[in-house]
Amino acid sequence: MSKYLTTIGLEVHAELHTNSKMWCGCKNDPRENRPNVNICEVCMAHPGTLPVANKEAIKKVITVGTAVGATIADFTEFDRKNYFYPDIPKGYQLSQYKLPIVSGGSINGVELTRIHLEEDTASSSHDNGTTLVNYNRAGVPLMELVTEPVVHSAEQAGDFARELQRILRYVGASEANMEMGQMRIEANISVSTDPNKFGTKVEVKNINSFAAVESAIKYEVERHIDLIESGGKVVQETRGWDENKQETFSQRKKENAHDYRYFPDPDLPKLYLSKLFDIESIKNSLPELPSAKKARYLSYNLKDDVVEILIDNVALARYFDNTITHFDMWDKDGLKEVSKAHVQAAANYLISDVLGLLKKENKELSESTLPAPRTFSVLINMTLDGELSSRGAKDLLPYVMNGQEIDIKKLAEEKGLIQKNDPELLKKIVAEVLAESEKQVAEYKSGKESMFMYFVGQCMKKSKGAGNPSLFQQLLKEALT
Ligand code: ADP
Ligand code: MG
Ligand code: ZN
């Protein structure tokens, strides 16, 4: 065991997925490429304008809070965080200081301190000595989640961030796309030789991917240990992450920290959340959360990598769940259970074949590019019942990737893909094959067992791929002994 204790606390910002901005009616559109089109007097802070709080945004923060088992405040308010910068038109950011909407809760066993609601800043770009500011993002609702200093490794921090992203997406709070800056992570890191005392913490910003979360933390931990071992001292500061160099760099020392002079905003009313929202019904209408979905998928004995792919893609998981509701339910120990074999086959066909086809044809996953769930479930049923070979199922897929309910049985008959299970017919084929293969039969009988698969192959060929291979094997064994 290392004699160093690493401690990490995370601060995560996520842009909320709402129709309009936090204090005005301007569109909240992260995909708008034209600068300064979604702006108005309010988000540009013209004198005399007043903010009106976006109820949808507050509800989304409450929803996230209920999803992580946190406490929702009865009463909350917004505060002014004062600082001057071109990306903050009012000269202050509306945020929450003493009374966050959400307190406590946990994700992956990592305790949360709070989740509060604030507004995003404009985005600036620096070019040739000029600074260009785009105010489309100014005033977009932004939630900030802060964890307790209870994370102890880079991997744990990465897992936490990935799980948070899933939760935000499952409950529809945020698209949480890190490349688009919709989810932004800051890591506070300290290293100590004394388990009862924290070391000096450093905050790392500008982390734009899960991989960068882990790399930045690993880099900082090593830097701290090197400093301590060489008799140096870690200074409390804010550092940035340089993705190209894969290292952190100093941005701002503690002594230059801002004094934000927080105070409650007098233009916004205090909010009695328990009167404005039915918290119980928000809690009761939560969707199945990623951890529960994962446990359910594992209970079908799906492979770990299959489960990861499914739970990381909300639309794919929804489609998969729709498909498996069409399978028959079996009574097991008084419980209705779906056949694991069917669920597993559906997952495998979905991930390798259906996704493979989409990729090949360069198509997005959507209702109209996937088979109708019921149609897909029939395809799986027929495969497991031996009516369709796995080859036949793959051959049929391209005809059903259009969201339409299709009569798979009819289609398979038309394409000559129904697998033949009629023993009389197959027996005839077996007899023909053996009669035509005198030499090979003699070899087989003199001990060359590998000949067996040759006979199976000939039978399949004679049946034009429609015969059931396992039935052929059984009949061949009977005929050869
Ligand atoms: P600040 O006032 O500097 O922003 P906070 O106490 O608000 O500090 O904590 C900010 C974040 O830093 C939280 O996520 C918290 O868990 C984390 N943190 C606090 N102390 C430490 C420490 N010694 N090591 C690592 N993280 C820490
Ligand atoms: Mg901080
Ligand atoms: Zn506006």
pLDDT digits (tens, 9 = 90+) for 255-314: 666 789 999 999 999 999 999 999 999 999 999 999 999 999 999 999 999 999 999 999
How confident is the prediction for the chain on average, in pLDDT?
A: 94
- 335 vs 146: which has the higher pLDDT: 146
279 C-alpha to ligand 1 centroid (Å): 29
Contact 356, 306 (CB under 8 A): no
- Decide if pLDDT at 1 tops 70: no
Give the ligand 1 atom nearest the CA of 190: 24
* CATH domain 423-480 topology: Arc Repressor Mutant, subunit A (1.10.10)
| pLDDT recorded at residue 177 | 96
Banded model confidence at residue 237, pLDDT cuts 50, 70, 90: very high
Our answer on whether the CB atom of 97 is closer than 6 Å to any ligand 1 atom is: no
- 414 vs 96: which has the higher pLDDT: 96
- What is the average per-residue pLDDT within 103-117? 98
Give the ligand 1 atom nearest the CA of 198: 23
Q: Which of 103, 145, 188 to mutate to test the pocket of ligand 1 (most atoms within 8 A of CB)?
A: 188
Least reliable range by pLDDT among 175-184, 286-295, 390-399: 390-399
Q: Which of 201, 213, 252 to mutate to test the pocket of ligand 1 (most atoms within 8 A of CB)?
A: 201
Q: How many CB atoms lie within 10 A of CB 314?
A: 16
The residues spanned by each domain of the chain are 5-282, 290-414, 423-480
Q: Cα separation of 450 and 444, whole Å?
A: 8
- CA-CA-CA-CA torsion sign (386, 389, 394, 398): negative
Q: Does domain 290-414 have CATH number 1.10.8?
A: yes
- What is the average per-residue pLDDT within 226-246? 95
Contact 459, 467 (CB under 8 A): yes
Q: Cα separation of 412 and 287, whole Å?
A: 37
- 335 vs 71: which has the higher pLDDT: 71
Our answer on whether the CB atom of 149 is closer than 6 Å to any ligand 1 atom is: yes
| pLDDT recorded at residue 368 | 94
Banded model confidence at residue 339, pLDDT cuts 50, 70, 90: confident
Structure confidence by residue, pLDDT tens digits, 19-62: 999 999 999 999 999 999 999 999 999 999 999 999 999 999 99
| pLDDT recorded at residue 65 | 98
Our answer on whether the CB atom of 12 is closer than 6 Å to any ligand 1 atom is: no
Contact 66, 283 (CB under 8 A): yes
Phi-psi region at 363: left, alpha or beta (left = phi > 0; alpha = psi -120 to 50): beta
- CA-CA-CA-CA torsion sign (88, 271, 276, 116): positive
- Decide if pLDDT at 115 tops 60: yes
Our answer on whether the CB atom of 9 is closer than 6 Å to any ligand 1 atom is: yes
Cβ-based neighbours of 396, under 8 Å, separated by 6 or more: 379, 388, 408, 411, 412, 415, 417
Give the ligand 1 atom nearest the CA of 189: 25
